[in-house]
C-alpha cells in the first residue's frame, strides 16, 4: 500500500478527456486535461529539477521501495518489463505497456500459453545498465530481481502478488526467510536456489509459470518489486547503507550522490538510450532532491520559484482557496481513485454480545455518517466527493450506485435508530473507535462520535500512535477477537488501476487469509463474495470481469462490511519553469522523467 498522507478522488462519466480545468471530471476514470501541465512548446534540454520535501525515500532498492516518493525516484532510474505511460488520458495512463519487454504478451503473439498459465517475455536489445562499460540487461537479471523481492532483510511490501501467482514462489520465499542475514548467505541462496516458475530460457527470454491463470499478471510485473537486478547487487544486503551508495541505473538518470535524510542528486545516465524507452525522457541535466523541508516551506519555495515540484507532500489545504480564486495555473488537482477514509467494522468483536456480527446492525449504521462533514476535514468539496460503495471510480468493476442513500450524503439518524431497534438494539450500542492520534484523525473521531450519538450509539475512543495503527492493531486478529476495537477509519490506496481486483478488493475483503500482517481488517468473510472474486481473478473476458466485480461490490455493501465515506483529489504545485508535468495515478505525483524546464 503506497504510503499516502490523506489522499484520494472520484468521477464517473465516459468518453474523451475534455475537462477544461482540474476540478472537472472526464474520461472513464475521471481524468482531465490539466493532468499535463504547461505542455506547450518545444522541449528544451538542460537544467536541474529542484525537488523539495521532508523525509527520505523509504528505500533505494527496487526490491523494497513502496512509498510515493520512493516510486517517484525509481521512475527516473529503474525500468520494468512493463510500466504505465505518462498521459493526461486516464485510460492510457492506467494500462500497462511494454517497457523493457518487446511487447505485451498475448495468446495471439505467443506470449501467453493456451491455458493462460505460461508467460514468455522477450527483453529489448540495447537496454543497458549504467555499469562501466554499459552492459545489456538480460533475462538472468530479471530472474535475480524476482528472487530478491522476498529477501528477509528488506522485503517487498507486497510479496503476496508473486507468491499467490508464480509456481514455487511461496516455497522460495518461505525458505529465504530462514537464510542468515549476511551477504555471503544471501548470495549463496540467490545463486544456488531456483524458483520453479521463473526461468531464463536464454539471455533475452524470461518465462513465468503460474499456479492458475491471472489476468492481471502483467500489472504485477509492472510493479517496481519486479524490476531486474544487476549481478553487482549480490555484493550487498538489499538496501543496506553500502548498497545505497552503489546503486545502478537502467533509466534516464542515475544517483551520483546520496546523503541520508538530507539529499539525493541524480545526473544523466549515459548508458540510457531514448530509442529503447517509449515512456521516459532525458530532458534534464539532472535532478536535485532536498529533504528536511516542511510542507509549508515547500509550498513557499515552489511559489517563489526557488523549487520546482513536491517530493513527499501536497499543497497545504489552507493555500488552496487563494490559488483557486486567482486561477493559478501552477495548481493541479487530480483524482487518486482511492477510498480514504472509510469505516470498517470488526465483525469478530465480542462487545455488545457480538452485535457487529449482525448484518442488520451494520446496515443500520450505514445511515449514521455525515460524509460531507468528514469531507470538510479533508479540504471540502473541491478535494473530496462522497462515496457510497466499496469500489471507487477508477477501479475495475465500478458502477455507480447508492444502497444506503441519505439526504445530501449527510446521514439519516432517524432511519439509523429505527433500524437498530428492529435489529434488537432499541437502546443503542457502545462501540470502541480505534483512531490515530496524528494528522486529521482525531477530528475524524470527533465527527464520527457526533454522528453515531445522533442515532443512539455511544463511541469510546481508543487512541493509537500512527506507527502502531496498522501493525499492532488492525493487522493483529488477536486484537480484533478480543474486542480491543469495534470500528476504525483506515484508508486504502491501490497499487494499480484498471484490472486491479487483486490490489483492491482482494486484500480488503477476502477473509480466507485473515491473520497476522493481512489487511482484511475485521475478518469479513463471505462465500458469495469469495466465489465472485475468484472467478474475476482468473477470467480473461473483460466484460465478464467488470460484471463479476460489480456484483462483488454489491455483496460487500449488502453485507455492510464497511461504510464508504469519500474519494479524494490530490492538489499538486509546480513552478512556472516546469513544463510537461504529467500526473501519474500510480504514484500520485508528477512524472519527473517527463518534465522539461524553460531557461
Share of the chain residues as helix, strand and coil, in percent rounded to the nearest 5: 30, 20, 50
Classified as helix, coil or strand, 126 is coil
Domain assignment present for residue 92? The answer is no
Give Rg (Cα) of the chain.
24
- Comparing 86-100, 229-243, 510-524, which segment has the lowest mean pLDDT? 510-524
Q: How confident is the model at residue 514 (pLDDT cuts 50, 70, 90)?
A: confident
Task: Mark whether 578 and 547 lie in a shared domain.
Answer: no
Q: Quick one: pLDDT at residue 151?
A: 95
State the pLDDT confidence band at 265, using cuts at 50, 70 and 90. Answer: very high
Question: So what's the pLDDT on residue 35?
Answer: 53
Contact 480, 520 (CB under 8 A): no
530 and 581 in a single domain? The answer is no
- Among 238, 272, 292, residue at a domain's last position: 238
* Confidence class for position 1, pLDDT limits 50, 70, 90: very low
- If you average pLDDT over residues 393-415, what whole number do you get? 94
Do 505 and 586 fall into the same domain? no
Residue 127 located in a structural domain:
yes
Judge whether 88 lies within some domain.
Answer: no
Q: Residue 395 is part of a domain; what is its CATH number?
A: 3.10.105.10
136: pLDDT strictly greater than 70: yes
pLDDT at 5 over 60: no
Please tell me the distance from the alpha carbon of residue 257 to that of residue 253, in angstroms, as a whole number. Answer: 12
Residue 550 sits in the same domain as residue 594: no
- 85 or 22, higher pLDDT: 85
Residues 6+ apart with CB under 8 A from 296: 316
Q: Report the distance separating Cα 311 and Cα 288, nearest Å.
A: 11
Instruction: Looking at the structure, tell me whether residues 428 and 577 fall in a common domain.
Output: no
Question: Does 82 reside within a domain?
Answer: no
Task: Examine the fold and report which residue of 207, 238, 269 is the final residue of a domain before the chain moves on.
Answer: 238
d(CA 394, CA 31) in angstroms, rounded, equals 9
Would the pLDDT of 72 be above 70? yes
Helix, strand, or coil here: 530? Answer: helix
* pTM, full prediction: 0.86
Residue 34 pLDDT exceeds 60: no
Give the DSSP per-residue string, 448-494: HHHHHHHTTEEEEEEEE-HHHIIIIIIT-HHHHHTTS-SEE---B--
Q: What pLDDT shows up at residue 543?
A: 92
d(CA 416, CA 457): 10
In a domain, residue 86? The reply is: no
Structural domain contains residue 280? yes
Statement to judge: residues 153 and 256 lie in one domain = no
Return the DSSP state at 279.
S
Residue 410: is its pLDDT beyond 70?
A: yes
Same domain, 548 and 423: yes
The mean pLDDT of the chain is: 90
Residue 518 has what pLDDT? 64
Q: Helix, strand or coil for residue 190?
A: helix
Q: Is the pLDDT of residue 18 over 60?
A: no
Confidence at residue 149, expressed as pLDDT on a 0 to 100 scale: 95
| Residue 369: all three cell numbers together | 455518517
Distance CA 50, CA 311 (A): 10
561-570: burial string, b at 16+ Cβ within 10 Å, e else:
bbbbbbbbbb
Which CATH number goes with the domain that contains 311?
3.40.190.10
Query: pLDDT digits over 325-362, tens only?
Result: 999 999 998 888 888 899 999 999 999 999 999 999 99
Please compute the mean of the pLDDT values over residues 128-151 and round it to a whole number. 97
CATH code: domain of residue 168 = 3.90.76.10
Same domain, 47 and 194: no
CB 580 within 8 A of CB 39: yes
Pull the grid cell for residue 11: 468521477
Which residue is it, cell 524546464? 597
Is residue 110 domain-shared with residue 23, that is, in the same domain?
Answer: no
- Top-confidence range, 55-69, 185-199, 469-483, 567-581: 185-199
> Count of CB atoms within 10 A of residue 597's CB?
21
pLDDT higher than threshold 70 for residue 20: no
Over the stretch 269-324, which tens digit does the pLDDT of each residue have? 999 999 999 999 999 999 999 999 998 999 999 999 999 999 988 898 889 999 99
Helical H runs in 78-168? 90-93, 139-148, 160-163
Q: Is residue 75 predicted with pLDDT exceeding 50?
A: yes
Same domain as 277, residue 233? no
Residue 389 has pLDDT above 50, yes or no: yes
| Domains: count for the chain | 3
Structure letter (DSSP) for residue 252:
S
Q: Which helix (H) or strand (E) holds 21?
A: none
Nearest residue to 556 (alpha-carbon basis) of 336, 419, 399, 403? 403
Q: Mind giving me the DSSP string for 287-336? A: EEEE-S--HHHHHHHHHHTS--EESS----GGGHHHHHHTT-TTEEEEEE
Q: Which of 120, 369, 78 is nearest to 226 (CA)?
A: 78
**pLDDT of 157 above 90:** no
Mean pLDDT within 389-396: 90
Q: Are residues 232 and 160 in the same domain?
A: yes
Average pLDDT over residues 432-445: 93
Place of cell 523539495: 52
For residue 418, count other CB atoms closer than 10 A to its CB.
15
Residue 137, C-beta contacts closer than 8 angstroms, at least 6 positions apart: 100, 123, 127, 128, 129, 228, 250
Q: What is the pLDDT of residue 579?
A: 96
Same domain, 350 and 438: yes
Q: What proportion of the chain, given as a percentage, has pLDDT over 90?
A: 74
Instruction: Give the residue with greater pLDDT, 366 vs 158.
Output: 366
- Round to whole Å and give the CA distance between 77 and 91: 25
Of 238, 265, 281, which one is at a domain's C-terminal end?
A: 238
| 94 found inside a domain | no
Residue 383 reports pLDDT greater than 80: yes
| Full residue range of the structural domain in which residue 291 is found | 1-62+69-77+250-333+568-599
pLDDT of 23 reads 28
Look at residue 14 and tell me whether its pLDDT is greater than 80: no
Residue 112 domain-assigned?
A: yes
Percent of the chain with pLDDT over 70: 93
pLDDT score recorded for residue 440: 87
Amino acid at each position: 500500500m503506497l504510503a499516502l498522507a490523506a489522499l484520494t478522488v472520484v468521477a464517473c462519466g465516459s468518453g474523451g478527456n475534455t475537462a477544461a480545468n482540474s476540478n472537472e471530471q472526464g474520461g472513464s476514470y475521471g481524468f482531465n486535461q490539466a493532468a499535463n501541465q504547461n505542455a506547450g512548446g518545444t522541449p528544451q534540454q538542460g537544467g536541474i529539477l529542484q525537488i523539495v520535501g521532508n523525509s527520505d525515500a523509504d528505500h533505494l532498492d527496487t526490491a523494497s521501495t513502496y512509498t510515493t516518493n520512493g516510486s517517484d525516484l525509481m521512475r527516473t532510474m529503474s525500468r520494468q518489463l512493463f510500466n504505465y505511460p505518462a498521459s493526461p488520458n486516464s485510460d492510457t495512463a492506467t494500462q500497462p505497456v511494454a517497457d523493457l519487454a518487446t511487447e505485451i504478451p498475448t495468446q495471439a503473439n505467443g506470449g501467453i500459453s493456451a491455458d493462460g498459465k505460461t508467460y514468455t517475455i522477450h527483453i529489448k536489445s540495447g537496454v543497458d545498465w549504467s555499469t562501466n562499460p554499459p552492459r545489456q540487461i538480460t533475462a538472468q537479471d530479471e530472474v535475480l530481481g524476482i528472487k530478491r523481492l522476498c529477501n528477509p532483510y528488506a522485503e517487498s511490501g507486497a510479496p503476496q502478488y508473486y507468491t499467490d501467482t508464480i509456481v514455487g514462489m511461496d516455497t522460495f520465499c518461505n525458505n529465504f526467510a530462514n537464510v542468515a542475514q549476511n551477504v555471503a548467505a544471501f548470495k549463496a541462496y540467490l545463486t544456488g536456489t531456483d524458483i520453479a516458475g521463473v526461468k531464463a530460457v536464454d539471455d533475452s527470454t524470461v518465462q513465468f509459470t503460474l499456479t492458475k491463470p491471472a489476468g492481471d499478471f502483467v500489472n504485477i510485473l509492472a510493479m517496481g518489486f519486479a524490476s531486474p537486478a544487476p549481478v553487482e547487487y549480490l555484493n550487498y544486503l538489499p538496501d543496506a547503507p553500502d548498497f545505497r551508495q552503489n546503486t545502478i541505473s537502467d533509466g534516464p538518470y542515475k544517483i551520483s550522490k546520496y546523503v541520508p535524510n538530507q539529499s539525493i542528486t541524480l545526473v544523466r545516465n549515459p548508458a540510457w538510450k531514448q530509442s529503447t524507452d517509449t515512456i521516459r525522457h532525458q530532458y534534464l541535466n539532472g535532478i536535485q532532491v532536498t529533504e528536511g523541508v516542511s510542507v509549508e516551506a515547500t509550498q513557499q519555495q515552489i511559489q517563489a520559484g526557488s523549487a520546482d515540484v513536491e517530493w513527499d507532500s501536497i499543497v497545504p489545504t489552507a493555500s488552496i482557496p487563494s490559488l483557486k480564486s486567482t486561477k493559478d495555473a501552477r495548481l493541479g488537482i487530480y483524482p487518486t481513485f482511492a477510498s480514504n477514509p472509510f469505516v470498517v467494522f470488526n465483525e469478530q468483536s465480542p462487545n455488545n454480545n457480538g452485535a457487529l456480527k449482525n448484518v442488520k446492525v451494520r446496515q443500520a449504521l450505514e445511515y449514521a455518517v455525515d460524509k460531507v462533514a468528514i469531507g470538510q476535514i479533508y479540504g471540502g468539496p473541491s478535494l473530496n466527493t462522497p462515496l457510497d460503495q466499496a469500489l471507487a471510480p477508477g477501479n475495475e468493476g465500478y458502477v455507480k450506485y447508492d444502497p444506503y442513500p441519505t439526504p445530501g450524503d449527510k446521514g439519516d439518524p432517524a432511519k439509523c435508530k429505527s433500524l437498530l431497534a428492529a435489529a434488537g438494539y432499541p437502546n443503542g450500542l457502545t462501540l470502541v473507535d480505534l483512531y490515530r492520534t496524528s494528522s486529521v484523525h482525531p477530528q475524524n473521531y470527533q465527527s464520527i462520535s457526533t454522528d453515531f450519538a445522533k442515532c443512539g450509539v455511544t463511541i469510546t475512543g481508543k487512541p493509537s500512535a500512527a506507527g502502531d495503527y496498522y501493525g499492532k492493531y488492525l493487522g493483529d486478529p488477536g486484537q480484533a477477537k478480543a474486542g480491543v476495537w469495534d470500528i476504525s477509519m483506515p484508508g486504502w490506496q491501490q497499487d494499480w488501476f484498471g484490472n486491479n481486483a487483486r490490489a483492491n478488493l482482494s486484500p480488503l475483503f477476502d477473509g480466507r487469509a485473515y491473520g497476522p500482517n493481512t489487511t482484511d481488517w475485521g475478518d469479513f468473510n463471505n462465500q458469495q463474495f469469495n466465489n465472485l472474486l475468484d472467478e474475476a481473478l482468473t477470467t480473461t473476458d473483460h466484460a465478464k470481469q467488470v460484471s463479476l466485480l460489480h456484483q462483488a461490490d454489491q455483496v460487500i455493501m449488502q453485507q455492510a462490511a464497511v461504510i464508504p465515506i469519500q474519494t479524494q483529489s490530490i492538489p499538486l504545485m509546480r513552478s512556472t519553469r516546469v513544463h510537461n508535468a504529467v500526473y501519474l495515478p500510480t504514484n500520485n505525483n508528477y512524472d519527473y522523467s517527463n518534465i522539461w524546464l524553460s531557461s
